[in-house]
Amino acid sequence: MNEQEFIPLLQKLNLLSPSQRQRLHHSLESNETSTEEILAVKMALHQCPHCASTPLKPWGSSHGLPRYRCTSCFKTCNPLTKSPLARLRKRDKWLMYAQALIDGLSVRKAATLCGVDKNTAFLWRHRFLALINTRQALHEEGIVEADETFFLESFKGQRHLPRAPRRRGGVGKTRGTSDDQIPVLVVRDRHQSTATIILERVDAAHVKAALSPLVDKDAILCTDGAAVYKAFCQEAGITHEIIHSKGPRARGVFHIQNVNAFDSRLKGWIRRFHGVATKYLRNYLGWRRMLERYRTAITPEDCLLEAVGRTPQQLIQT
Ligand SMILES: [Zn+2]
């Protein structure tokens, strides 16, 4: 770019919003650091991805990544081995793609941003999210809020619909009572540890299966008046605080405003995708949880590390 073009570009920087400024910053940063550097430094392998044994011996490098050899199975590996990003190409575009995920860009816009075709951007989206979607709270304690939310069942992208088509982005039958709504149980404690669990049905058995391994025995569970929660708490011996939808929204510290706020951010964010295919709903939920974990502070590097599944231990539970 020549100087005459550059000066007006600099002047325009004043017009950026704080979040645009941050994105520009990340984008400049990610142009300076290569994916290989991040993978080599932040994801040095300590355990064999083939047989889980230790230690690994440094074994030169290949395609810009350090290589290791396992002292027990003798196989070689690199930081991407067995991760969802193994064997994906165009590594130099991955950080840019991570920024597209952070910004919640459509497949088409992400493709344009990274200079890849639409199919690649689509493949990358779901490869990046494959591990991200598995990371959610495994244990919630203290005051725990739970509530269900619903997503319209969608066969988007599938050629053969198992039912008559609905008008694009249309509405289902009555909320939560028909078969074309997919229920998701949102559970969040006051440390913001969050789990979103897709339920087959909202009944006592499925709610119990979702909550039993998750909610601490000494927790206080706050929910609306739905009988399924009452049944679960009685059986599990967990203290239950019911917030009736018709009554006051909170009783002191007991309320379900955190799950409700999470749900409304989730719904507001997901709207941009104009309906998500039910078979990918888990990925979108994991994507949203990741953004929530970091709030606004997530960098393309964080996102890349999340996608490869080798993130700092302390984040795993949240
Ligand atoms: Zn091994």
The predicted structure's pLDDT at residue 166: 62
Higher pLDDT, 36 or 102: 102
Lowest mean per-residue pLDDT among 41-50, 75-84, 254-263: 41-50
The predicted structure's pLDDT at residue 230: 96
155 CA to centre of own chain:
21
Distance from residue 304's CA to the centre of ligand 1 (Å) = 24
Cβ proximity of 209 and 236 under 8 Å: no
> For residue 318, is pLDDT > 60?
no
Distance from residue 64's CA to the centre of ligand 1 (Å) = 22
The predicted structure's pLDDT at residue 175: 47
Distance from residue 47's CA to the centre of ligand 1 (Å) = 8
Neighbours of ion ligand 1 (CB under 5 A): 48, 50-51, 70, 73
Distance from residue 25's CA to the centre of ligand 1 (Å) = 40
Nearest CA among 123, 32, 39 for reference residue 84 = 123
Q: How far apart are CA 296 and CA 163, in angstroms?
A: 40
Q: How far apart are CA 289 and CA 133, in angstroms?
A: 8
**Mean pLDDT, range 308-314, rounded to an integer:** 63
Q: Would you say residue 276 lies in a domain?
A: yes
> For residue 160, is pLDDT > 80?
no
Q: Would you say residue 137 lies in a domain?
A: no
> For residue 169, is pLDDT > 80?
no
- At 316, the pLDDT band (50, 70, 90 cuts) reads very low
Distance from residue 67's CA to the centre of ligand 1 (Å) = 13
Distance from residue 312's CA to the centre of ligand 1 (Å) = 23
Q: Would you say residue 113 lies in a domain?
A: no
- The SS3 call for residue 95 is helix
Distance from residue 196's CA to the centre of ligand 1 (Å) = 34
Distance from residue 81's CA to the centre of ligand 1 (Å) = 12
Distance from residue 51's CA to the centre of ligand 1 (Å) = 4
Lookup: tokens for 113:
């941003």
**Mean pLDDT, range 6-20, rounded to an integer:** 85
Nearest CA among 256, 262, 257 for reference residue 241 = 256
Q: Would you say residue 213 lies in a domain?
A: yes
Q: Look up the pTM and report it.
A: 0.83
Number of domains in the chain: 1
Q: Would you say residue 313 lies in a domain?
A: no
Distance from residue 140's CA to the centre of ligand 1 (Å) = 35
Report the residue count for the chain: 318
Q: Would you say residue 111 lies in a domain?
A: no
Distance from residue 54's CA to the centre of ligand 1 (Å) = 8
Distance from residue 126's CA to the centre of ligand 1 (Å) = 28
Lookup: tokens for 32:
């300076």
Distance from residue 318's CA to the centre of ligand 1 (Å) = 30
Domain range enclosing 148: 143-158+176-301
Cβ proximity of 77 and 120 under 8 Å: no
Q: What would the DSSP string read from start to end of 217-242? A: TT-EEEE-S-HHHHHHHHHHT-EEEE
The fraction of the chain above a pLDDT of 70, given in percent, is 89
- The chain-wide mean pLDDT, for the chain, equals 88
Q: Would you say residue 206 lies in a domain?
A: yes
199 CA to centre of own chain:
18
Higher pLDDT, 121 or 32: 121
CATH classification of the domain holding 256: 3.30.420.10
Which of 3-17, 273-287, 302-316 reaches the highest mean pLDDT? 273-287
Distance from residue 123's CA to the centre of ligand 1 (Å) = 29
Higher pLDDT, 177 or 123: 123
The predicted structure's pLDDT at residue 167: 59
Distance from residue 291's CA to the centre of ligand 1 (Å) = 34
> For residue 168, is pLDDT > 90?
no
Distance from residue 59's CA to the centre of ligand 1 (Å) = 13
- The model's pLDDT over 83-131, given as tens digits with 9 standing for 90+, comes to 999 989 999 899 999 999 999 999 999 999 999 999 999 999 999 999 9
Distance from residue 231's CA to the centre of ligand 1 (Å) = 47
Distance from residue 251's CA to the centre of ligand 1 (Å) = 55
**Mean pLDDT, range 133-144, rounded to an integer:** 96
Distance from residue 210's CA to the centre of ligand 1 (Å) = 35
Q: How far apart are CA 127 and CA 194, in angstroms?
A: 22
Distance from residue 55's CA to the centre of ligand 1 (Å) = 9
Distance from residue 124's CA to the centre of ligand 1 (Å) = 28
Q: Would you say residue 220 lies in a domain?
A: yes
DSSP-derived letter for residue 159 is S
Distance from residue 42's CA to the centre of ligand 1 (Å) = 21
